[in-house]
Amino acid sequence: MPNRSFSFSSLPNQVSEQLPRSAILGIMSTSRTITHPRDLLTSAMERIYSYRMTTTSGGNLSILDDEGSIWITPARIDKGGLRREDIMEIRPDGAIIGPHKPSSEFPFHRMIYEARPDLRAIIHAHPVALVAFSICGRTPDTRIFPKARVVCGEVGFAPYALPGSEALGRSIAAEFAKGFHCVMLENHGVVVGGATFREAFMRFETLEFAAKTIVKASALGKVRHAGTEDFAAEKRLGNPLQPFAPVQASSAERELRRELAAFVRRGYRQRLLISTEGSFSARVSDNAFLITPRGCDRALLTPEELVLVEGGRTEEGKVPSFATRLHAAIYARHPQVKAIVNATPVNATAYAVVEEALDTRTIPESYVFLREVARLPLSILSENPDDVAARLRPDFPVSLIENDGAMVLGTSLLDAFDRLEVLETTAEALINSRNLGPVKVMGEDVIRELREAFHLPAA
């Protein structure tokens, strides 16, 4: 008999159409920024460079502060070793403060700010997937994921002009003046703007993820974009849970918080999720679990930020992930499940936007860890979570959610994370094999031998 100690029956399945975009994105639009522009720019450039989303000499970032100064990365300085003292300030009167020359692309930063007073941060870089679109004269269709469409909107396209020129600045600013937040530059790269630097970075990373997924998926077949009904399914915020003040955390809960936060950060480093996407949870007890908060930066998540959900109530002062209701229903129905991951590894997600199935009969590890990978419609996110949980089987712990990503169940955090990594490496190997020849999958006799050796259930 399923455990019914979690209760979310009073929560609506659909979000109100009137919710502001900041609520959908998990952004606190009224939050007060206290980090200096120098530190925001250097830390972001370190992340962008570390994940090969720009080169040593490529890309430039800027912030327009409340006093009208534009803080911008310098020209001809190693992006892999940028220091806070390298950041240049251009004051409203044109005075240049700092030890270097400002980026040669400063003209288009200035023109964008003039064309769009609502923007206070700009990112320009040369991430590989977006450059691929740039040199083909195309823009990524962000309808591939409802969240990408909400975050990035439709993408503009600026015709080629000489880098650093006033002509390039006018070309880009004209596209931003039309209302685009993201603009592809012909044979150049991409420019993204935001009301805050966090918003700009979120758009930049989300757009590159969408572009990567489209590139990977195109090797598999026709890419499926989310339809109108899928965008309705994405609006699943529901009413907030009732808050409660938890008692002092036990040593076991504290250790689980540390472990869960560490796995989330590792997942980001391994590119299994992006900074604003992915929900990780772990069971604390029969009727309680920890889950990632809404709107957190997965790269920097701390144990203290994790949200305790107990008996259908949430730790006061925190807002849990959108996936909380679904995770609660899974834990209630399947006591053997101790951890759940929703993530967006790009190669596995490519299979979630095409018709082709992800065949796990590649190497023994893939079949043993993943079994048969189920495919679920995006609409499950707006269905009754108890019904969805009933469709999931812990003995077949991996599912792809169409136009969304992957869901993995585990008997522990390590088990769930391991399966997620195996899923992504399996998907990447299958996609890479397309250039080599037909895949020779393991035969039924091998599969039968694996099932017997590892006590695996039949599909």
Q: Is residue 42 predicted with pLDDT exceeding 80?
A: yes
Residue-level pLDDT at 72: 98
Q: Is residue 239 predicted with pLDDT exceeding 70?
A: no
| Dihedrals phi, psi of 341, to nearest 5 degrees | -130, 125
Q: What is the mean pLDDT of the chain?
A: 90
| Dihedrals phi, psi of 38, to nearest 5 degrees | -55, -45
Least confident interval from 194-198, 237-241, 302-306, 367-371: 237-241
**Degrees, nearest 5: CA angle 137-141-146:** 165
Q: Label residue 341 by pLDDT band (50, 70, 90).
A: very high
- pLDDT tens digits, 246-281: 999 999 999 999 999 999 999 999 999 999 889 999
Q: Is residue 151 predicted with pLDDT exceeding 60?
A: yes
Q: Is residue 284 predicted with pLDDT exceeding 70?
A: yes
Residue-level pLDDT at 228: 65
Q: Label residue 221 by pLDDT band (50, 70, 90).
A: very high
Q: Is residue 384 predicted with pLDDT exceeding 90?
A: no
Q: How far apart are CA 170 and CA 108, in angstroms?
A: 7
Q: Label residue 227 by pLDDT band (50, 70, 90).
A: confident
Token output for 6 = 């979690």
Residue-level pLDDT at 455: 92
* Residue 331 · residue 337 · CB < 8 Å: yes
Share of the chain above pLDDT 90, in %: 81
Residue-level pLDDT at 232: 57
Q: Which helix (H) or strand (E) holds 214?
A: helix 197-218
Q: Is residue 41 predicted with pLDDT exceeding 90?
A: yes
Q: Is residue 436 predicted with pLDDT exceeding 50?
A: yes
- pLDDT tens digits, 353-381: 999 999 999 999 999 999 999 999 988 87
Q: How far apart are CA 110 and CA 119, in angstroms?
A: 11
Q: Is residue 290 predicted with pLDDT exceeding 80?
A: yes
Half-sphere exposure of 228 (CA within 13 A, CB side): 0
Amino acid at 353: V
Residue-level pLDDT at 226: 86
Q: How far apart are CA 268 and CA 278, in angstroms?
A: 9
* Residue 143 DSSP code: G
